[in-house]
Chains A and B, each alone.
Chain A
Amino acid sequence: MKVTSQAFKANARHALGDPNLQKAMTNLRSGFVERRAHAVSQLPEWEALRDEAVAIKKHTLAQLDFYLEEFERRVVANGGKVHWCRDAAEANAAVLAICRGLGARTVTKGKSMIGEEMGVNDYLEANGVTPVETDLGEYIIQIRHEPPSHIIAPAIHLVKEQIAQSFRETHRDLDPARQLKDSRQMCDEARAVLRPRFLAADVGITGANFLVAETGSSIIVTNEGNGDLTQTLPKAHVVLASLEKVVPTLEDAATILRLLARSATGQEFSTYTTVSTGPRRPDDPDGPGEYHVVLLDNGRSALLGGEFEDMLRCIRCAACLNHCPVYQAIGGQSYGWVYPGPMGSVLTPSLIGVDQAGDLPNASTFCGRCEEVCPMKIPLPRMMRHWREREFQRHLPPRAYRLGLAAWAFFARRPALYRVAADWAARMLGYVGRARGRFRALPLAAGWTRTRDLPAPEGRSFMSLWAARQSASRSAQ
């Protein structure tokens, strides 16, 4: 996938001025945020389940090599195959080889963020295999040639009029006079258009929410049923999964599943939770004849044992996106790669480099909502801070920014001087700004005043007021 994270600031400015995006993003609150809060309130064991889920993932990550080898052993015992891939290029080559082996012309796809990370659609298309996205949101952005803007609702940045327009441009064999006014009509149209594609596909590609070491199974969670038609009907089922998806047992998967749907969509349980183990058995009347797991590292093994290891607990529920004031304001595409929002601000620099994605960990108000709602208790703000520190150490931020920070650090390390300087600055600004009570422009403060006024200080700094108050109360005693 093409990276535009370097242009984050320009992307974000553009998104803030896009009226359709701004309208569409208001659906986030009533949709995901309120439904999640309700679902959590219905489960008294919520906090205890979070703790257990964290313990499961910590244990698994600490012995990841063991659990991956066990997983592979059982996949093979059930007649499947695991393809170990260090990077996207190896993973794409593995998928193409499977398609070529079956003479595949079209593949259907369930939504997979690993597939986005690999850029598998473009790769297959360039090599003569047609990929068809089947998740409704993913299908919409595929026909619009856009990247996803959300990890579970890829088309959340669009309003229905835009989607209707894309359907009319793509489904040219349908009656141009047909109605496409509401989501019901568009949903029915997508169902009718995609059903024959499901039936005709040679290979079905899905992601995986979990890999289970105990049984060699992959688990996907969907609401539409597209993932199931994708993996049931074709000749081969290909699972795209990254290393950290593995959990020890079916019981462990059940525990984390109790957190996943509630955190993601606010459902008690997703409509379809599907556990797949190997290819069709001799007496099975249907199912794929081949089962492949493409197991992708892409930099994850190097995160273990370090300050970003906790990020590998992420189950991709998107609660941190949904609750992030920055994500809510600018949507997902501004982040410029596969993973947006707080989890993306931590993961993207880890996977593609802080030189490419240094702006992302800065796109946070540090309000802490992301960590609060994260079912896996990932300390997202702390890790964004780690990235800011590394970015600074590597001299990546602009010179003016660095100079400003250095000046601030000079005073911050000298509290007495800081107090005098702050008091002096407050009095000065208060004096200059006394007529209007605010500044519309100020040297060195354009980043603030470009989009809002800076209120003029009303005279003295907090510290000097505090000191005055303390000495007044002392003399009163």
Chain B
Amino acid sequence: MNPSRDQILGSIRRSFRRGPLAPEALAACETRLVTHRRNLIPERARTLPPRGQVELFVTMAEAVNATVTRVKDARDVPAAIAEYLARFNLPQRLVRAPDPVLDELPWSGRPLLETRRGVAEDSDLVGVTACFAAIAETGTLMLHSGAAGPTRNNFLPDTHIAVVRGDQVVAAYEDGWDRLRAARGGADGGVAMPRTVNFITGPSRTADIEQKIELGAHGPRRLHIVLVEDGEAS
């Protein structure tokens, strides 16, 4: 039906002087696809207790030019954001992702902070999002698309502010995938993948001109993380 497809697959098999995979090889490969076997994961974060993972996440995120403020309670998030914007002389106006986690925050307690709920436009200078998980190993945020998470909001605004709960911090990328599988398990034991999963480690950067690192190439110039410590697993 598709001559190019058949020819490419045929060429692969000719190179190996074989036909399609033999039953045992086929079964081994099929098993590999559904068991999610882990390879070596560096010790750096894996052996730390949850508290230590949160500390490592903060250290690694700050090492790649993200900034972090900690609050004890989710109700303090709007105030922390307002203070951050004031500190960097940024407008007190933001777009927030249509995420129930953000909807529950007491935005009305900061009447001077103008918020809009929805999809980011080019004119939005500050965007606030939640996140799905945070990876301690490299200080990486894990976000995914969906009704509550427009992807544009992670990239268009000059300043990206992400709200992270302490219990969202995991050791490694593999832990993030396991959480996604648990949250979005498909019928076949696999995962119903969102259209996009974004792993974000610090603000946008480039070194394309004489190897000099500049922040804010096309994505956000600033990445600020508000860490809510009450959600930490003990």
Contacts and interface: CB of A to CB of B under 8 A. Distances in A.
Contacts of B195: 276-281, 284, 287
B85 interface: no
Interface string A252-265: 10110110000001
A366 interface: no
Interface in A138-191: 140, 153-156, 159-160, 163, 182-184, 186-188, 190-191
Contacts of A283: 146-147
Interface string B200-224: 1111111111111010111110000
B182 interface: no
B111 interface: no
A133 to B, nearest CB: 11
Contact of B39 (A90, A195, A252): A252
Interface in B132-175: 138-140, 145-147, 150-152, 154-156, 172-174
Interface in A350-399: none
B134 to A, nearest CB: 13
A287 B198 CA distance: 13
Contacts of A306: 15
A276 B205 CA distance: 21
Contacts of A232: 151-152, 155, 196
Contacts of A226: 217-219
B211 A30 contact: yes
A188 B204 CA distance: 12
A65 B29 contact: no
A301 B11 contact: yes
Given A160-B210, A297-B11, A255 B40 contact: yes
A163 B201 contact: no
B125 interface: no
B87 interface: no
Given A233-B152, A301-B8, A265 B199 contact: no
B9 A68 contact: yes
B133 to A, nearest CB: 13
B42 interface: yes
B4 interface: yes
Contact of A275 (B38, B196, B205, B212): B196
Interface string A441-456: 0000000000000000
Contacts of A216: 193
Contact of B204 (A31, A66, A186, A223): A223
A85 B202 CA distance: 37
A349 interface: no
B227 interface: no
A224 B206 contact: yes
A248 interface: yes
* Size bracket of the B interface: 35 or more
Contact of B29 (A63, A160, A279): A63
Contacts of A84: 2, 4-5, 8
Contacts of A122: none
A163 B209 contact: yes
Interface in A271-325: 271-281, 283-287, 295, 297, 301-306
Contacts of A48: 40
B36 interface: yes
A223 B205 contact: yes
A227 B32 CA distance: 30
Contacts of A271: 64, 200-205, 219
A136 interface: yes
A62 interface: yes
Interface stretch (B19-27, B47-55, B68-76, B102-110): B19-27
Given A65-B20, A183-B209, A281-B195, A287 B122 contact: no
Interface in A41-97: 43-45, 48-49, 52, 56, 62-70, 78, 84-86, 90
Given A28-B211, A84-B4, 13 more contacts: A24-B210, A44-B43, A65-B12, A84-B5, A186-B209, A217-B193, A229-B155, A229-B218, A249-B36, A267-B201, A274-B198, A286-B119, A287-B151
Task: Give 5 closest A-B pairs by Cβ, nearest first.
Answer: A225-B219, A31-B211, A224-B217, A137-B208, A301-B11
